[in-house]
Chain A
Amino acid sequence: MATPLIVSEVAKAFTMHLRGGIRLPVVANVSFSIRAGECAVLGGPSGAGKSSILKMVYGNYGVDQGQIIVDHHGQLVDLATANPRTVLAVRRDTIGYVSQFLRTVPRVSALDVVAEPLVARGTARDEAHARASELLGRLNLPERLWSLPPATFSGGEQQRVNIARGFITDHPVLLLDEPTASLDATNREVVISLIEEKKLRGTALLGIFHDADVREAVADRIVDVTTFAAGKAAA
């Protein structure tokens, strides 16, 4: 299928029960789709709901209304209503995610953190480690760090571990939440070329990039999130 991800009329609000039930609308009527081999970038100022959209697509945030249809092994799954087990299967095989911050687990080495998504899909540990080493090498993470848990790494080092972890698999859909925020120019270039390679291989990418240079280099299309402002739909 040439359009692995379709977001249709999605709405999201937060209800703050501890604050007297205040309802904070985030987005409404979010509709867009991404084709294979395309990189769409969510555009708009902070607070427009870019991250919330990304998190809904990953199943990390609940969806109040609408559908998020993903092609999972040739079957169409609606992530807005899928049960937890289906969401986990989609994450394992279909939708990858590079989060803004790495959630570190004590005592697990950087190499294992990166290799884990492959191991979870049944790749032999040696082969997964080889792929992980290759990616960490490309991202210029010093080799002496590979066997250490990333908890003590700098922000940029952790981010590179996170990027390697997200890019190691061949998931048909890849979500990127500011993957270049704390990288230097050299490593930003590496990420841009990694994204180009994904596109050539037919991955559908959806990202948030505050860095204008990176955005211009990778974006095929900007999805303007301000048009989904929840207030607008109500007014």
Chain B
Amino acid sequence: MNPIRKNRLILAGVIVVGVGIAAALALVALSENINLFYSPSQVVAGEAPRDHTFRLGGLVEEGSVSRDPDSLVVQFGVTDGAESMIIYHRGILPDLFREGQGIVAQGRIGDDGRFMADEVLAKHDENYMPPEVEHALETARSLGVTDQKTER
């Protein structure tokens, strides 16, 4: 084999192997870091994973926010109109968090069965509804839940 071909072959081989490894690592990392979204109804029905973080979203229930007097622990209920879930969080809630607002929380269900959120997301626009939450509300609505107090 002439040296130019040989060089090219080595280069091409290194690139193919390198990109292959990178792609494999990326896919592994991707599969480990995907967070599925669940509505309160789905979580109550037991569809959410017990051993993995996921996203839970809905409207914050009126009058459900309560704080621990000595720490930053806060709890509040989210609903999709059909079912509701209590979310626990230690930390500072975002500026736009308020009752009646659509939020998405990311966290996991602990051994005590409580959903502990690492992160609570509310969007930076008054009129903005997270698409996941909107979808969850619509699903609950289409399943025959009529007593809604949701407003957009």
| A associates with B | no
Binding site for B on A (CB under 8 A): none
